[in-house]
A and B are shown apart, each in its own frame.
Chain A
Amino acid sequence: MSTYALTDSWTMTRRELAHWARQPVQLLVGLVFPVMLLLMFGYLVGGGRGVTGDYLDYLVPGMLALTMAFGLEGTLLAVTQDLNKGVIDRFRSMPMTNGAVLVGRSIADMLQSALGLAVLIGVAYALGWRAHGSPGGFLGAVGLLLFFRFAMLWIGIHLAMVAGKPELVTAVQILVWPVGFLSNAFATPETMPGWLGTVVEWNPMSHTATAVRDLFGAPGGAPGHTWAAIVWPLALLAVFFPLAVRRFGRLSK
């Protein structure tokens, strides 16, 4: 890492922000999509199998976690497109810090996800949803969600480099859906057939959702689950962060 690691990363972050400014609609669609899912599951599908208490209280943390999980798709797509663009050759032929491209991507994606959380929480609030926990608990929940998103980010970067071509990305993207839905986002695992319930309980996203429910004082939360919501993303990061960084280094050779 050179002394320019920071400036280079900032330059690459500015590039992503400039893309937003150029394509505000794209950013907007990304923010509206989770809201749509929330409305759909909250009102159209509704019900909340096995949930005691207010379904919205149960659903909102699930939707927040799901939004973070689906962020993986955005990262995957953006990195794949970037790697297939000619400009990456220019970056590689320049003396910039290796990896600044990835740092720029991470910061932009995390910003977008934070914005996505804010919008979703705002809409939920307008629908009458309230967090029942402490302000500290609220911040903790947001932190856990973003941490989970950070793990998804590096899985996304790694998968993008493994898949390589935009055609393969679609295939990988489709796999994100079952993983997102095979969770406790909409219903409790107790209502599901045995094997399915087990899968759902093991899903890292379920742990984050459960911990967030606990911190929001919502049904379906389990005290002490915060650890699981820290350990799981940490484990994923321990695997995918080095893999992604190594792979990116290898690409430039």
Chain B
Amino acid sequence: MADPAITVEGVRKKYGGKGGKVALDGLDLQVTRGTVHGVLGPNGAGKTTLVRILSTLLRPDAGRVEVAGRDVLTHAREVRFRIGLLGQHAALDEELGGRQNLEMFGRLYHLGTRHARVRADELLERFGLAGTGRKPVKQYSGGMRRRLDLAASLISEPEVLFLDEPTTGLDPRGRAEVWDSVRSLVGGGTTVLLTTQYLEEADQLADRIAVVDGGRVIADGTADQLKSLTGADRIDVTLRDADQLGAAVALLPVPEDAVTVDADRRLLSAPVTDRMTALSSVVRALEETGIEAEDIALRRPTLDEVFLHLTGDERASDPRVKEAV
């Protein structure tokens, strides 16, 4: 990969000294300039730790980290001039208003008083916060706060932008707004590293997706590549009667433990290798046993399934986990 915007090599981080919790366990990652790289992982995978190390807030115990071509340990200050950070939690002065916040950050980026003011107004306008006046941030709604936080991370027109779960807690409209902003930034050449719990978000925004679990990257590729990682296409069978789910599992042309059961939606799902053979054998078996199906469909695996497949098979076969994710 020529001239990456972010290089992470063998990074380790342990919290709390000896016997502490290992958050990153030899993580490697490369992000190409001008692309969006999604980092997908369950709670506690190490996403926030990674973002904090990349944004110079935390020192790695071992490994090499370069952002915008500079080492984060030896050239932290130069890195800071080139990055923007939207942390998992709001990083704003809650006592002050939106404009006061942005002006203050602008001055700290050394934009100069006048330019800082112009930039603040510009960003307030762009994120639909122009009417907030002097209202202190602590009286903002969650969505307003998130948008102001995002605006603050863009003040210096960063080369590399880190977004740690940017849309968690936003309503669909707020989410769409953030997505639009990210897309327009990338059009302008910004590199974005974005962590998320929403697979749909990674699918929508990211050029590449790194799946992180237990402090390591366990898969890295485009959404399509990841989908083909789980191999098979899938067959979904929706039954009329949930009581028959147990009996129907045996009808699918795969070992029983490969079948996902979603009782609420009366849905069975299983990977298949030969699409047409599987379809006709299932239809035939249903007819023979007299189990009534509402719908039968063949489809590619969703990212959810890829994700669950990669982060632990035992959980993928547990239908309750699917609901929780």
User: A92: which of B57, B92, B94, B109 is its contact (CB, 8 Å)?
Assistant: B57
Q: A22-B136, A86-B87, A86-B89 are in contact. Are A91 and B108 (CB under 8 A)?
A: yes
Most buried by A among B87, B109, B110: B110
Interface size for A (C-beta < 8 A) is: 25
Contact between chains at B80 and A93 (CB < 8 Å): yes
A18 to chain B, nearest CB (A): 6
**Bound CA span A86–B88, Å:** 10
| Bound Cα distance from A96 to B109, whole angstroms | 7
Beyond A18-B96, A18-B100, whether A90 also contacts B152 by CB under 8 A is yes
Q: In the complex the two chains form, is A94's CB within 8 Å of B108's CB?
A: yes
Residue interface bits B98-124, CB-to-A below 8 A is 1, else 0? 001000110111100000000000000
From the candidates A15, A19, A87, A94, name the one contacting B109 in the complex (CB within 8 A).
A94
Within 8 Å of chain B (Cβ to Cβ): is A125? no
- Is B218 positioned at the interface, with any CB of A under 8 Å from its CB? no
Q: Is the CB of A94 within 8 A of B105?
A: yes
B interface majority secondary structure: loop
Give Cα A106–Cα B157 distance, bound, in whole angstroms: 31
Contact B91 A94 (CB under 8 A): no
Closest chain B CB from A76 CB (angstroms): 19
Summed over the interface, the residue pairs from A and B with CB atoms below 8 Å come to a total of: 67
**A251–chain B nearest beta-carbon distance, Å:** 10
Given A18-B96, A89-B57, are A11 and B90 also a contact pair (CB < 8 Å)? no
Q: Taking the complex as formed, is B55 at the interface, i.e. its CB lies under 8 A from any CB of chain A? A: yes
Q: Do the beta carbons of B83 and A93 come within 8 Å of each other?
A: yes
A90 to B83, CA, bound (A): 11
- Size category of the B interface is 20 to 34
Chain A residues contacting B57 (CB-CB under 8 Å) are: 89, 92-93, 252
| B110/A93 in contact, CB under 8 A | no
Closest B residue to A23 by beta carbon equals B95
- Tell me the bound Cα distance from A7 to B112 in angstroms: 10
- Which residue of A8, A89, A253 contacts B108 across the interface (Cβ within 8 Å)? A8
**Residues on A with beta carbons closer than 8 Å to the beta carbon of B91:** 86-90, 93
Nearest chain B residue, comparing its CB with the CB of A82: B93
CA distance A88 to B90 in the complex (A): 10
CB of B146 to closest CB in A, whole Å: 12
Given contacts A89-B85, A93-B91, could you give 9 more A-B pairs where the C-beta distance is less than 8 Å?
Answer: A11-B107, A15-B96, A86-B87, A90-B87, A91-B108, A93-B55, A93-B56, A93-B57, A95-B109
Binding site for B on A (CB under 8 A): 4, 7-8, 11, 14-15, 18-19, 22-23, 85-96, 100, 252-253
Query: 22 A–B contact pairs at CB < 8 A?
Result: A7-B107, A11-B104, A11-B108, A15-B96, A22-B96, A85-B93, A85-B94, A86-B87, A87-B93, A89-B85, A90-B87, A90-B92, A91-B108, A93-B56, A93-B80, A94-B80, A94-B108, A95-B108, A95-B110, A252-B57, A253-B58, A253-B59
Of all A-B residue pairs in the complex, the 7 with the closest CB atoms, nearest first, are A90-B91, A95-B80, A86-B91, A96-B108, A93-B85, A253-B59, A89-B91
